[in-house]
Amino acid sequence: MEKYLLSIDQGTSSTRAIIFNKLGEIQAISSQAISCHSLKAGYVEQDPLEIIESVKYVIKHIFNNTTIRPHQIDSIGITNQRETTILWNKKTGLPVYNAIVWQSKQSNEICEELINNNYQTMIQEKTGLPIDSYFSATKIKWIIDNVDGIKESIAQDEILFGTIDTWILWNLSLNHVHCTDYSNASRTMLFNIKTLTWDEDILKLLAIPSSILPHINNSSHYYDKLNPEYFFNISPPITALIGDQQAALFGQTCFEQGDLKNTYGTGCFLLLNTKDKLISSKHGLITTIAWSIDNKIDYALEGSIFVAGSALQWLKDNLKIINDVNEVEIKANYVNDNDGVIVVPTFSGLGSPYWDMEVKGAIFGLSHSTTTNHIIRATLESLAYQTKDIIDIMVKESNIKLNKLKVDGKASENNLLMQFQSDILNLVLEQPLTYETTALGAAYLAGLATNYYQSIDEIKHNHQVKKTYHPQMKQDQVIKLYQQWQKALQSCLLYK
C-alpha cells in the first residue's frame, strides 16, 4: 500500500493541508481563509480558536477530492507563520488573549525602552535578532502586562506560551504536547542560538517566566500521535515542526552551505544556508536557525524585503494602471527597458539591510517619453534590486560562495522578473516544479523522522526543476542599472 505525507501549512491569511507523494508531488489540497483584526492602528491580531478550527477543517476536508484514504498517511509535518504569539490556560485550553501576529506593532514601546537602555547589542549577540516588535518576546511581555489576572494564573502554573506550531501541536496531539522546534524558538528573541537554550538573562530582563515556555526539539522529530478525534479515528504521528521560511529553504533542498532561496510573496524572504557557520551580521541581516536534524543545527542568514508582490498590487489598487496583477509581465514587455525610470516602493519602510521604517517611496527618472508601462516595468525590477541589496551583504558577511538562487512564491512565475533577477545577480536561478515549497519542506522533514525517506540525499534526488534562468545581460549594463537604483535609494533615505 502506497503511503503519503500530510503537511499542515498555517499562514497569516489561510490554513492549508496538502498531501504529497514520495516524489514530492501534490496529490490534494484543502484551504481555509483566516481573518485578521485591528483593534487600534498598528495592531494585528487573530483569533487562536479560529486558527485551530481552520486546521481541523482542512484536515477533515482534504480527503474529499482524492482517492487517498486517511490510513495511507505516513506522518504529518506542521509549518507556520513565524513569531505570532499565543498564551493560553492549559487547564481550560482557552487563549488568554488574541494571537498577536508577527506584523503587529503594539509592543513598539517595549522595544524602544530596551533600545534606549542599550540592550540591543546584548540581545542581538545572544539571539541573532535585532530588538523589534516583529519577534515574539515583547509580544509575550505585552500580554503579561496588559491582560487582567494573567500574572496570578502564571503564578499558579496555569499559563503556556507558544508560537503557532506549538499551539497547533498542543491542540491536535493526543497528549497535549507542549513543544516547539529550534527554527521557531530562534524567532522568539528569547532563545540563545549559541547555547541552544532559552536565555535566562533575557527572560529576567523582560520578566517572562521560563515555566510558560515550550520544550525544544529537532525540526524532524517524533512529537506525538495526532488525536484520532480529528482524523477519522486514526492516529498518524506528528513528526515535524518548522517555521515557514525555513520550511521553504528545506523544500527547495537547500541543504548545502551556499544554497540560497528567495520567496517572492507580499514581501520577499531570502535565506542563505550557512550550515554550522554561525554568522553575526553587522549590516542588518538576521542570524537564525534553519533547522535541526539528529541534534545537528543548520544556521542561516536571513534578509527581509517588506514590499515586493504588494508593490505590484499597488499598481492595480492605487495607481490603477493595471486591472489584474497577472497583467504586469505582459505590459512590462510592451517596452524594451525602463527608459531610465526607477521605482523605490518603500511603502512600509525598508527591511534588510537598512532597517529604516521612516523612509518614503519615490519614482525617479520621469520624462516626456515615460509611459505607464515603463513604471510597471520599473516596479517589477525593484524586486530584483532589493534582492541584490541583501545578497551582496550576505556574500560580504559570510564569505560564502553562492551556488545558485532557488526561487518560489507568486512573483517567481513572472519570467521577465526572473530573467532580470538572474542578470542583476549574475547568478543561475532555479524554479521548482512543486510550487508549494513551504508545505513540502515540512512534509520532507516529517518523512525523515519515520524513515519514509532514508536520507536528505534521497530527498535531493527527488527535487525537480521546472525552469532555469541563466544570466544574459552584459556586466557593464548591470553595473549601470544597479548604480541608478542605488542613487535613487540613497535619495529616498535622505528625504524623510
Rounded average pLDDT over 200-209: 96
Q: For residue 272, which phi and psi values (nearest 5 degrees)?
A: -115, 120
Instruction: Please report which confidence band the pLDDT of residue 307 belongs to, taking 50, 70 and 90 as the band edges.
Output: confident
Residue 434 is predicted with a pLDDT of 86
Residue 472 has pLDDT above 80, yes or no: yes
CA dihedral 356, 360, 361, 367 (to 10 degrees): -130
Q: Do domains 4-245 and 253-496 have the same CATH topology?
A: yes
- Give the residue with greater pLDDT, 1 vs 287: 287
pLDDT digits (tens, 9 = 90+) for 384-439: 999 999 999 999 999 999 989 999 988 889 999 999 999 999 999 999 998 899 99
What kind and span of H or E run contains 441? helix 437-449
Rounded average pLDDT over 207-229: 96
Distance, in Å, from the CA atom of 195 to the CA atom of 181, rounded to the nearest integer, reads 15
Instruction: Please report which confidence band the pLDDT of residue 356 belongs to, taking 50, 70 and 90 as the band edges.
Output: confident
Residue 105 is predicted with a pLDDT of 85
Instruction: Please report which confidence band the pLDDT of residue 322 belongs to, taking 50, 70 and 90 as the band edges.
Output: confident
Query: In the chain, what percentage of residues exceed pLDDT 70?
Result: 100
Residue 496 is predicted with a pLDDT of 67
pTM of the complete model: 0.91
What kind and span of H or E run contains 468? strand 465-469
pLDDT digits (tens, 9 = 90+) for 112-143: 999 999 999 999 999 999 888 889 999 999 99
Question: Domain 4-245: what homologous superfamily?
Answer: ATPase, nucleotide binding domain (3.30.420.40)
Amino acid at 59: I
Distance, in Å, from the CA atom of 464 to the CA atom of 476, rounded to the nearest integer, reads 34
Nearest-10 crossing angle of helices 415-425, 475-494:
100
DSSP state of 414: -
Listed by start position, the domains of the chain span 4-245, 253-496
Query: In the chain, what percentage of residues exceed pLDDT 90?
Result: 77
Residue 487 half-sphere exposure, CB side, CA atoms within 13 Å? 11
Distance, in Å, from the CA atom of 439 to the CA atom of 25, rounded to the nearest integer, reads 11
Residue 179 is predicted with a pLDDT of 97
Rounded average pLDDT over 236-251: 96
Nearest-10 crossing angle of helices 437-449, 244-251:
80
- Residue 392: all three cell numbers together: 551582496
Instruction: Please report which confidence band the pLDDT of residue 297 belongs to, taking 50, 70 and 90 as the band edges.
Output: very high
Give the distance between the most distant pair of CA atoms in the chain: 71
Which of the following CATH numbers is that of domain 253-496: 2.60.40.420, 3.30.420.40, 3.40.50.80, 3.80.30.20? Answer: 3.30.420.40
Residue 323 is predicted with a pLDDT of 87
